[in-house]
C-alpha cells in the first residue's frame, strides 16, 4: 500500500501544498497555492495552512512542512523572507497543537528540495559534491555529498557586493531589478564562480520557479561544474518535505 503525506511548501511569496505518494514522489492530488500573507507571522500562516488542510480534507494524517529558514529540531533559527516572529519559534509544537495532528515535521525548504532531487530527480545516483540552489524569493541551498544531505547550508546569505547573494541572483532580484536574461545570467554566473571556488562541486542544480526557464540563462553560466536544471522544478519542495516526513516521523 502506498503511503501518502500532505506536503506544504511555505515560501516568502506563496504557500503551496499537494498530497504526495511517497513510493513514487508523485502528486496524488492537484497542487493548490495561496499567497503568503503580507504580515507572515505564525497566526497568519496558520490560517493559510488550515485552508489547505480543508481543501485536501486532510484530518489527522501526516503533514510535512518545508520552511524558508534554518531549522534545528523543529525550531526556526532565522527568518529572512518571512516574519521575524518565527525566529526561535517551535514550529512543530505550535502546528501539531493548533492543527491537532500528531505527525507533523518541518525541514528547511531548500533541503526538502535537495532530498526530493536526490531521491526522485536530477541528483539521483550522483556521487561527489552536488549543490542545489533554489532561486525564488530568496536563494536556498542544499549541499549533498555522495548522496548525503548536509543540512542548513545558507549559500544565499554569502556576503556579496553591498549585501548578500540572494539580493542579486534570486528570481525576486531579477524581477525587482528588471534584469534581462543575459544580465541575470552573468550575475548568477559570478555567484556560482565564487561558490565553486569555496566548494568545488561536481554538479550544480538550479531549482525553484526559475528552473523552468533554464535555457534562457543556463548557457551563460561559466563554471567548471556540470550545471543542470532541477528535474522536479518548483514541486521539489513539496515532494521533499513529504519524503522527509516519511524518513523522520516516529
Q: Which is nearer to ligand BGC, 17 or 136 (CB)?
A: 136
The least CB distance from residue 139 to ligand BGC, in Å, is: 6
Say how many CA atoms lie within 13 Å of 9 toward its Cβ. Answer: 32
Give yes or no for a contact between 131 and 103, defined as CB atoms under 8 angstroms apart: no
The least CB distance from residue 24 to ligand BGC, in Å, is: 25
Scanning the chain, the segments in alpha helix (DSSP H) are: 42-55, 91-99, 109-120, 166-169, 171-176, 181-199, 214-217, 236-248
The least CB distance from residue 50 to ligand BGC, in Å, is: 22
The least CB distance from residue 211 to ligand BGC, in Å, is: 14
Among 64, 166, 205, 230, binds ligand BGC (CB under 6 A): 166
Chain center to CA of 166 = 14
Among 104, 154, 192, 210, binds ligand BGC (CB under 6 A): 154
Among 36, 40, 78, 235, binds ligand BGC (CB under 6 A): 78
Residues binding ligand BGC: number (CB under 6 A)? 17
Specify the stretch interacting with ligand BGC by CB under 6 A; choose among 31-39, 107-115, 184-192, 238-246. Answer: 107-115
Strands 26-27, 14-21: pairing kind:
antiparallel
**Cell numbers found for residue 187:** 550575475
Instruction: Quote the CA–CA distance of 214 and 199 in Å, as a whole number.
Output: 22
Instruction: Quote the CA–CA distance of 59 and 50 in Å, as a whole number.
Output: 10
Q: Which is nearer to ligand BGC, 164 or 242 (CB)?
A: 164
Among 81, 105, 211, 245, binds ligand BGC (CB under 6 A): 81
Q: Which is nearer to ligand BGC, 58 or 239 (CB)?
A: 239
Q: Does 66 bind ligand BGC (CB under 6 A)?
A: no
User: Among residue numbers 185 through 204, which ones bind ligand BGC (CB under 6 A)?
Assistant: none
Instruction: Quote the CA–CA distance of 78 and 75 in Å, as a whole number.
Output: 9
Dihedral sign (CA 71, 72, 73, 77): negative
Specify the stretch interacting with ligand BGC by CB under 6 A; choose among 32-40, 63-71, 96-104, 124-132. Answer: 63-71
Instruction: Quote the CA–CA distance of 175 and 179 in Å, as a whole number.
Output: 7
Per CB under 6 A, residues contacting ligand BGC are: 68-70, 78, 80-81, 108-110, 134, 136, 138, 140, 154, 156-157, 166
Amino acid at each position: 500500500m502506498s503511503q501518502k503525506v500532505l506536503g506544504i511548501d511555505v515560501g516568502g511569496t506563496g504557500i503551496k501544498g499537494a498530497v504526495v505518494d511517497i513510493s513514487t514522489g508523485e502528486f496524488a492530488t492537484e497542487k493548490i497555492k495561496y499567497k503568503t500573507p503580507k504580515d507572515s507571522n505564525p497566526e497568519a500562516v496558520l490560517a493559510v495552512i488550515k485552508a489547505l488542510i480543508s481543501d485536501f480534507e486532510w484530518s489527522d494524517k501526516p503533514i510535512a512542512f518545508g520552511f524558508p529558514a534554518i531549522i534545528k529540531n523543529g525550531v526556526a533559527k532565522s527568518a529572512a523572507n518571512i516574519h521575524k516572529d518565527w525566529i526561535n519559534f517551535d514550529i512543530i509544537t505550535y502546528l501539531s497543537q493548533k492543527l491537532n495532528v500528531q505527525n507533523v515535521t518541518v525541514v528547511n525548504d531548500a533541503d526538502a528540495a535537495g532530498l526530493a532531487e536526490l531521491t526522485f530527480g536530477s541528483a539521483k545516483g550522483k556521487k561527489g559534491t552536488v549543490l542545489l540552489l533554489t532561486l525564488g524569493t530568496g536563494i536556498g541551498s542544499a549541499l549533498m555529498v555522495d548522496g548525503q544531505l548536509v543540512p542548513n547550508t545558507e549559500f544565499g546569505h554569502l556576503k556579496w557586493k553591498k549585501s548578500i547573494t540572494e539580493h542579486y541572483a534570486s528570481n525576486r532580484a531579477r524581477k525587482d531589478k528588471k534584469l534581462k536574461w543575459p544580465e541575470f545570467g552573468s550575475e548568477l554566473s559570478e555567484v556560482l564562480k565564487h561558490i565553486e571556488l569555496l566548494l568545488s562541486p561536481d554538479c550544480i542544480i538550479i531549482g525553484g520557479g526559475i528552473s523552468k526557464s533554464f535555457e534562457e540563462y543556463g548557457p551563460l553560466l561559466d563554471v567548471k561544474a556540470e550545471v543542470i536544471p532541477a528535474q522536479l522544478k518548483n514541486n521539489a519542495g513539496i515532494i521533499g518535505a513529504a519524503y522527509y516526513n516519511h524518513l523522520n516521523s516516529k
